[in-house]
């Protein structure tokens, strides 16, 4: 009777009232067997008697949620146990002692049968418009591990991230969307295991559909869903950073977990059948191969359907459109997502590069994809911290990088602007270090990016020098004011809200310790910065969002924009080559609200002449550590190396410029 219940699709382990269907894409191993593990009993071996193409499958009566399983095959070193690539949970945190042998595979983490019943308690998706979205890049463990007000048992967990203290913090700072560093199951690289370290960031995928067990007290599936539900209850979206460009199996000689033995064609190979390493991690997933494309699409639908995930940030996303040595914006993956009734409704954010040929693709992703804008990062840091006179490039970036992302396609093609990311210096370290200090990583400071575009303001690292500290805080305000009032979707690194320092480590991927864990014991200056930033984020929502909407789409030409010298005259071509103090004027319609950016890159104060009319409200002046309620009318003295944002709404203005 139960043989009739056996089906080739869906792949993985699928429960019903009578038992469980097990299905596996496996063209290379005829004698593979399903292994069921039960407490205090010998493993039960079951043949996969049914076949459909390259899929082998069977139905097993009486299987329930929580059943532990794997797949056995004959290896040159003996019998090896493989994970199910479609495993939706693991029974333990993956770990092994180098080298990963066939014998060790039986002691490794195993696949678990999952039933996705969960009470969502009527919560709904926040569905934040892109122009209102404020991304906070957050590590589930790192952000709460040292939080003094959270139950110690919950710190560093999925449940810790949705405690009332954290919800209040996110709401206070106007955060609309958490972008979580990878929460899919991960395996640390062999070189880290040899040094007794872990891949803290999680960019080394093991099973795409299984939540990372490290962040759970008991049940990662239920606890991650609870986290999403509680964040949604308070209107906060959850975006997953997900890694499909490579897997933890690495390149030649790397460990075997599943794909390598089930089907060698999952990965890009050269003519000699060697793995092409276009990711810097040993292998590259080949999305032109149907089974690879299938598991990626099935994984995305899995997270959206069962976990209510609001979107994804794709690591090294050029790989998704890679056809061998070339990138194709019309690749099968992009077309499949665009027509998928589930996936086309969510946020899709690309890191638009990998390390292979034709890999840098900023601006090259299809409509509906937002892209991490590294040109914005480099330009803004160079302008404020490296004293580069790149005014024209700076102006282009704050206006939404329209050389790369046409405003006619906004808001769905708004760039994702950022100053700091998980890889690179934190905001505090950007203004405190000239050089990277990655010695704790065990690679003799050779790892990590050398092009940081940072400035220590006279002293490397920690200092009590008041003048240095003042300059650092001012530059932090310059960077964040620029970010929040540029056209785009701002991305903030969560620990930057706390002015967290990593001691100059710009590649803390293996630091599961105080280097990476957010420091909540902040000093007076950093607490002032936190409150200043929260106020500015609120001002962005009030003021900047309507301007982004207005300057997007077909009616963007109905509004006013001009670039002016400090004397009030419009800038000419020569000004763009040498000017150090200039203003950006923006106006809605013929007589709507207006904004001005007064930007002084020079080392001396500069007086700006303002357009005639009613008083301007000072949104922020980055030379000041607190916000003001002052208003100005005809001129404004801008301090050296700082900027001010002015605003007046339409009901205040009588005369227009």
Closest CA to 255 of 187, 350, 303: 187
Class of the 558-652 domain? mainly beta
Given a cut of 60, whether residue 254 has pLDDT beyond it is yes
Of 84, 249, 310, 315, which one is the catalytic site residue?
315
pLDDT at position 76 is: 86
Examine the pLDDT at 360 and tell me if it is beyond 90.
yes
pLDDT band at 654 (very low <50, low <70, confident <90, very high): very low
Check whether 653 has a pLDDT greater than 70.
no
- pLDDT greater than 90 at residue 1: no
Residue 462: pLDDT above 80?
yes
- Residue 541 buriedness (CB in 10 A; 0-12 / 13-18 / 19+): middle
Instruction: Report, as an integer, the average pLDDT of 464-472.
Output: 97
- Residue 388: pLDDT band (50, 70, 90) is confident
Residue 107: predicted pLDDT: 97
Distance from the first to the final alpha carbon of the chain: 82
Q: Give the model's pLDDT for residue 612.
A: 86
The candidate with the shortest Cα–Cα distance to 362, out of 397, 388, 387, is: 397
pLDDT bin (cut points 50, 70, 90) of residue 652 is low
Question: Which of the following is catalytic: 223, 249, 351, 621?
Answer: 351
pLDDT band at residue 657 using 50, 70 and 90 as cut-offs: very low
Mean pLDDT of 388-395: 94
What does the domain layout of the chain look like in residue ranges? Answer: 2-112, 135-366, 558-652
Q: What is the pLDDT of residues 173-214, one digit of tens each?
A: 999 999 999 999 999 999 999 999 999 999 999 999 999 999
pLDDT over 50 (residue 246): yes
Q: How confident is the model at residue 489 (pLDDT cuts 50, 70, 90)?
A: very high
Fold topology of 2-112: Immunoglobulin-like (2.60.40)
Total-model pTM: 0.97
Question: Does an H or E element contain 471, and which?
Answer: helix 466-484
Q: Give catalytic status of residue 315 as yes or no.
A: yes
Whole-number Å distance between alpha carbons of 67 and 597: 61
Query: How confident is the model over 14-64, as pLDDT tens digits?
Result: 999 999 999 999 998 989 999 999 988 899 999 999 999 999 999 999 999
Which residues, at least 6 apart from 622, have a Cβ–Cβ distance to it below 8 Å? 474, 477, 478, 481, 642, 643, 644
pLDDT digit string, tens, across residues 183-194: 999 999 999 999
Topology alike, domains 2-112 and 135-366: no
| Per-residue pLDDT at 40 | 82
Separation between Cα atoms, residue 67 and residue 219, nearest integer Å? 14
Residue 361 has pLDDT above 70, yes or no: yes
**Pairing between β-strand 55-61 and β-strand 50-52 as defined by DSSP bridges:** antiparallel
**What dotted CATH number matches 135-366?**
3.20.20.80
pLDDT at 75: 85
Strand locations in 268-310, DSSP E?
none
Nearest to 589 by CA among 547, 544, 557, 559: 559
Percentage of residues of the chain with pLDDT beyond 70:
98
pLDDT of 655 higher than 90: no
Cis bond leading into 306, ω under 30°? no
Sign of CA dihedral 490, 491, 494, 500: negative
The model's confidence at residue 3, banded by pLDDT at 50, 70 and 90, is low
Residue 421 has what DSSP assignment?
-
| 656: confidence class by pLDDT, cuts 50, 70, 90 | very low
Is 241 an annotated catalytic residue?
no
Task: Give the tens place of pLDDT for each residue, 497-514.
Answer: 999 999 999 999 999 999
């Amino acid at each position: 009777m139960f043989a009739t219940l056996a089906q080739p699709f869906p792949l993985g382990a699928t429960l019903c009232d009578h038992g469980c269907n097990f299905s596996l894409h496996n063209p290379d191993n005829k004698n593979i067997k399903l292994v069921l593990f039960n407490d205090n009993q010998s493993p039960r071996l079951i043949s996969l008697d049914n076949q459909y193409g390259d899929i082998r499958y069977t139905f097993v009566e009486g299987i329930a949620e929580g059943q532990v399983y794997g797949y056995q095959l004959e290896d040159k070193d003996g019998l090896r146990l493989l994970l199910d690539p479609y495993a939706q949970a693991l029974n333990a945190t993956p770990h092994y002692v180098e080298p990963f042998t066939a014998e060790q595979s039986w002691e490794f983490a195993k696949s678990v049968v999952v039933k996705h019943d969960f009470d969502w308690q009527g919560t709904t998706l926040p569905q934040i418009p892109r122009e209102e979205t404020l991304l906070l890049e957050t590590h589930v463990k790192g952000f709460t591990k040292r939080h003094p007000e959270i139950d110690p048992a919950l710190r560093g967990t999925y449940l810790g991230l949705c405690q009332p203290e954290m919800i209040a913090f996110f709401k206070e700072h106007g955060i609309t969307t958490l972008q979580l560093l990878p929460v899919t199951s991960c395996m640390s690289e062999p070189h880290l295991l040899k040094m007794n370290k872990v891949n803290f960031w999680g960019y080394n995928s093991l099973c795409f559909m299984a939540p990372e067990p490290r962040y759970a007290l008991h049940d990662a599936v239920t606890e991650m869903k609870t986290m999403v539900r509680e964040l949604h209850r308070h209107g906060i979206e959850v975006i997953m950073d997900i890694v499909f460009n490579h897997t933890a199996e690495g390149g030649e000689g790397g460990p075997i977990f599943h794909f390598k033995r089930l089907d060698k064609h999952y990965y890009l190979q050269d003519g000699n059948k060697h793995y092409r390493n276009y990711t810097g991690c040993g292998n590259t997933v080949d999305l032109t191969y149907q089974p690879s494309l299938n598991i990626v699409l099935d994984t995305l639908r899995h997270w959206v359907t069962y976990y209510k995930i609001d979107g994804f940030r794709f690591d090294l996303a050029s790989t998704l459109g890679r056809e061998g040595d070339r990138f194709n914006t019309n690749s099968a993956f992009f077309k499949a997502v665009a027509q998928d009734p589930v996936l086309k409704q969510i946020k899709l954010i690309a890191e638009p590069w990998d390390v292979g040929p034709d890999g840098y693709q900023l601006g090259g992703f299809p409509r509906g994809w937002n892209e991490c804008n590294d040109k914005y990062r480099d330009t803004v840091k160079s302008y404020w911290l490296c004293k580069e006179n790149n005014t024209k490039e700076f102006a282009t970036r704050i206006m939404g990088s329209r050389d790369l992302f046409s405003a006619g396609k906004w808001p769905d093609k708004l760039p994702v602007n950022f100053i700091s990311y998980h890889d690179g210096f934190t905001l505090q370290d950007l203004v405190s270090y000239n050089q990277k200090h990655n010695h704790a990583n065990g690679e003799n400071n050779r790892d990590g990016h050398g092009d940081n575009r940072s400035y220590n303001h006279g002293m490397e690292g920690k200092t009590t020098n008041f003048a240095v500290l003042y300059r650092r805080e001012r530059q932090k305000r310059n960077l964040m004011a620029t970010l929040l009032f540029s056209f785009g979707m701002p991305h903030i690194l969560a620990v930057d809200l706390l002015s967290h320092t990593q001691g100059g480590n710009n590649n803390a991927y293996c630091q599961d310790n105080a280097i990476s864990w957010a420091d909540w014991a902040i000093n007076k200056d950093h607490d002032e910065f936190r409150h200043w930033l929260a106020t500015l984020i609120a001002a962005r929502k009030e003021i900047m969002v309507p301007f982004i909407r207005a300057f997007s789409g077909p009616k963007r030409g109905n509004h006013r924009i001009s670039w002016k010298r400090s004397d009030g005259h419009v800038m000419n071509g020569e000004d763009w080559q040498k000017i150090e103090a200039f203003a950006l004027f923006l106006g809605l319609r013929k007589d709507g609200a207006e904004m001005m950016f007064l930007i002084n890159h020079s080392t001396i104060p500069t007086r700006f002449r303002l357009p005639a009319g009613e008083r301007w409200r000072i949104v922020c002046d980055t030379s000041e550590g607190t916000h003001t309620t002052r208003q100005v009318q005809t001129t404004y003295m801008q301090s050296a190396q700082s900027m001010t944002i002015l605003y007046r709404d339409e009901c205040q203005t009588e005369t227009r410029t």
